Structure 1
Amino acid sequence: MRLGPLTELSPEQAELSARITARRGGTRGPFLVWLRSPQLCEKVEALGAYCRFESALPLRLRELSLLVAARHFDAQYSWNAHIDKAVDAGLERAALERLARGEDPAFEDAEAALLHRFATEVLTEHLVADATFAAGLEAFGEQGLVDLIGALGNFSMLAMLLNTFQVDLQPDRRPPFPDLRGYTRV
């Protein structure tokens, strides 16, 4: 990681770290960076918790939105942290492996295919086609679409933080995909 370890926490950082650990089982990965800005960390953690645990979208689609953003930004830490959760939530591992390779995932699950199309249009085109929007509105409802955009924004911010600060991959995990831009971590 580009930043050294936090050796001493302020009372505000310690209290926040304890809350993160209680909700997420530990203060690790991106939170070791965000703790350096405690007020931002608190707000980002709350938004992330809503997107992951409380959103109007079903769990498998919440996990998929995270993986689509992770793959879009080549955020390997996020991918590694969530691939098994996504499979446990009901997504097809083979489709996710295709997504990791940068291929069309060809989801058999129609909602997963639609979410992937919607999210990909937002992230790559910065707009959503009328037909995709209408299908998303019918499938996910107004709150579901608003929650999806919020999740994509949150997970994109997470990916940018992980990549910018070169947060170390989990010790038991390998890089899930190459960085398509040719960047090599040193």
Structure 2
Amino acid sequence: MARLPNLTRDNVPTEFLEAFDEVTAESGGVITGGPGSITINSPEMARRRAYLTNYLRFESTFPKKIQELAIIVTARAMDCQYVWNAHAPAARNQGVSDDLVDAIRDKKTLPNLTADEAAIISYATEFFQTHKVSTPTFNSALGNLVASIWWR
């Protein structure tokens, strides 16, 4: 059961209706699940979050395959079933192998990885286990990921 009630247009103060309408129009109606169901309780924050989310999803030059891989690694580390269910199919569609998605899901030995896959998985794993990232891991991620996409 949700701790916060689903916000509907009838519950929104007049000064926030424009932001509420913009966010809910984009999602197709009242938001009842996922992070949007929380942020919509502050329609202006939800609007600003939507701008960032849309940039990251649709305009960023970061490769979609690596984006989705980072999302599912994070979802698994945080045991976030909602995010996992939303993004595991997208990761597969973007070229993350079934074997890799399944190994992440099941916390099994990973199959052979490309350099960019290894960099993002090492970075995320180290961060979630130690709450910091070592210089070698950072440098690997920088060399394998950021340098190749930064100025596209």
Identify the TM-score tier after normalising by the shorter chain.
0.7 to 0.9
Are residue 3 (structure 1) and residue 23 (structure 2) matched?
A: no
Query: Where does structure 2 lack aligned partners over 5 or more consecutive residues?
Result: none
- Among candidates 47, 50, 63, match of residue 45 of structure 1: 50
Are residue 102 (structure 1) and residue 129 (structure 2) matched?
A: no
State the TM-score, normalizing by the size of structure 1. Answer: 0.65
Q: Structure 1 residues 4, 141: closer, same or farther in 2, change over 3 A? A: closer
Write the distance in 2 (CA, Å) between the matches of 1:18 and 1:127. Answer: 40
| Partner amino acid, structure 2, of 1:19 | E
For the pair shown, which has the larger CA radius of gyration, 1 or 2? 2
Identity of aligned residues (%): 31
- Among candidates 108, 119, 123, match of residue 118 of structure 1: 123
Q: Structure 1 residues 92, 79: closer, same or farther in 2, change over 3 A? A: same
Are residue 81 (structure 1) and residue 86 (structure 2) matched?
A: yes
Q: Structure 1 residues 74, 61: closer, same or farther in 2, change over 3 A? A: same
Q: Residue 92 of structure 1 contacts residue 107 of structure 1 at CA under 8 Å; is this kept in 2?
A: no
Q: Secondary structure at the match of 1:90?
A: coil
Residues paired across the two proteins, number: 145
Q: Secondary structure at the match of 2:96?
A: coil
After superposition, residues 19-168 of structure 1 pair within 5 angstroms as 19-21=22-24, 23=26, 27-29=31-33, 30-141=35-146
Q: State the Cα distance separating 1:28 from its structure 2 match.
A: 4.5
Q: Residue 60 of structure 1 contacts residue 90 of structure 1 at CA under 8 Å; is this kept in 2?
A: yes
Write the distance in 1 (CA, Å) between the matches of 2:44 and 2:148. Answer: 27
Q: Residue 55 of structure 1 contacts residue 144 of structure 1 at CA under 8 Å; is this kept in 2?
A: no
Q: State the Cα distance separating 1:92 from its structure 2 match.
A: 0.9
Which consecutive segments of 4 or more residues in structure 1 shift more than 6 A? none
Higher helix share: 2
Show CA shifts across 1:104-136 (max 9, x none).
433533311211111221222122222222221
Q: Structure 1 residues 83, 133: closer, same or farther in 2, change over 3 A? A: same
State the TM-score, normalizing by the size of structure 2. Answer: 0.78
Query: Where does structure 1 lack aligned partners over 5 or more consecutive residues?
Result: 146-186
